[in-house]
Amino acid sequence: MHIIRLWDDGKKHITVQDIFEKYSGQYVVEGVRFNSDNPNVFYVFQGFKYKKLELVDAPKNDMFINALTYGTIAAGNQEVFEYILNWIAFIAQIAGQKTRTAIILQRLQRIGKNRFTDAISEMFSRYCQPNISTIEEFTGTFNSVIENVMFAVLNEMMNYYESKKGTAHAMKTIITDKTIRINEKNQPERRAENVINTIIVTNNDYPIQLDNSDGRYLVIKCKAVHRVDHEYFNKLSKRMDKDFYDNLLTFFLNRDISKFDPTDIPMTDAKKQLLNVNRTPVDDIIIKTIRNLKMAFQYQRQAK
């Protein structure tokens, strides 16, 4: 830079090096964050691809919100439906904040699971990984795919006993930790903010290993309301234009989540099934002992 002359001020030739040394302080930032209100911090988040409208045109999103999300994804469960909507709204309204939970969608193929996640991915498209096909991209040696990503879809996750040991622990770290170690090929290792929120889509019965105290996963067996319903999905696809996504984003940005706690996860039959499968012999002994004590206590009360 010192050999590039810009002008002569009468005393010396001004070079690029001179300008850099004089004004370099103006280009120094205090740090780098995914999102920040501090003007002295460089932040990655620059707003969404789609715009917030003055009002939501509800009919624009009715097929997606009520038919697909409520009927298929939430399987007609109102509590689960409300949680899903609040979970997405939380990500949209507090960009860069983790829910510290993940959603698992189970069921047959061709019922609309991917149509649902594709729409949410497009809404978050600047900060999204819509189709991570292997768990190794999350938990493997090279994991830069998840850096500065606020929403990701892990597709076709295999049964946990078919995956590598330690997958459950690695997923726990990704879901809950605020920072993450990033390994990028041919680059030095670095620490980064962990802002990712994940939906896991699978056709398998046992995609993740859960313990009895789990507070991270909402597990849903989706309902095959529109399976192979080409007319419905063709009609839905035709509605998914820019106006649709503007309205969808506005719907989530306007949703009241003041009382929403992402860790207050609805218990579903699908999750109970996973918990039962993952019970250890010690768990069985404890459950049996508690059941026997309860029966003995009831017998004593009746005897009195």
pLDDT at 94: 96
Domain-embedded: residue 108? yes
| The model's pTM | 0.81
Domain-embedded: residue 294? no
Judge if 246 and 162 occupy the same domain: yes
Judge if 234 and 89 occupy the same domain: yes
> Could you tell me which residues come within 8 angstroms of residue 253 by beta carbon, excluding any fewer than 6 positions away?
52, 89, 92, 93
Domain-embedded: residue 223? yes
Tell me the chain's radius of gyration from C-alpha atoms: 25
pLDDT at 283: 57
Catalogue the long-range contacts made by 122-125 (C-beta closer than 8 Å, 24 or more residues apart). 122/240, 122/245, 123/48, 123/49, 123/50, 123/92, 123/245, 123/248, 123/249, 123/252, 124/48, 124/91, 124/92, 124/150, 124/151, 125/49
Q: What does pLDDT average to over the chain? A: 85
134: containing domain:
58-277
Domain-embedded: residue 45? no
In total, how many domains does the chain have?
Answer: 2
Judge if 98 and 14 occupy the same domain: no
pLDDT tens across 87-131, in order? Answer: 999 999 999 999 999 999 997 778 889 999 999 999 999 899 998
36 neighbors 95 (Cβ within 8 angstroms): no
Judge if 17 and 151 occupy the same domain: no
Angle, CA 13 vertex, CA 8 and CA 18 arms, to 5°: 115
pLDDT at 293: 74
Domain-embedded: residue 46? no
pLDDT at 132: 87
Judge if 68 and 163 occupy the same domain: yes
Domain-embedded: residue 286? no
Q: Which of 49-53, 219-223, 236-240, 274-278 has the lowest mean pLDDT?
A: 274-278
Judge if 19 and 108 occupy the same domain: no
Q: Is the pLDDT of residue 53 over 90?
A: yes
pLDDT tens across 269-303, in order? Answer: 999 988 887 666 555 566 567 777 777 677 676 76
User: Looking at residue 128, which CATH number applies to its domain?
Assistant: 3.40.50
Q: What is the mean pLDDT of residues 50-67?
A: 95
pLDDT at 274: 85
Judge if 14 and 132 occupy the same domain: no
At 47, the pLDDT band (50, 70, 90 cuts) reads very high
Judge if 14 and 90 occupy the same domain: no
Judge if 187 and 79 occupy the same domain: yes
pLDDT at 285: 65
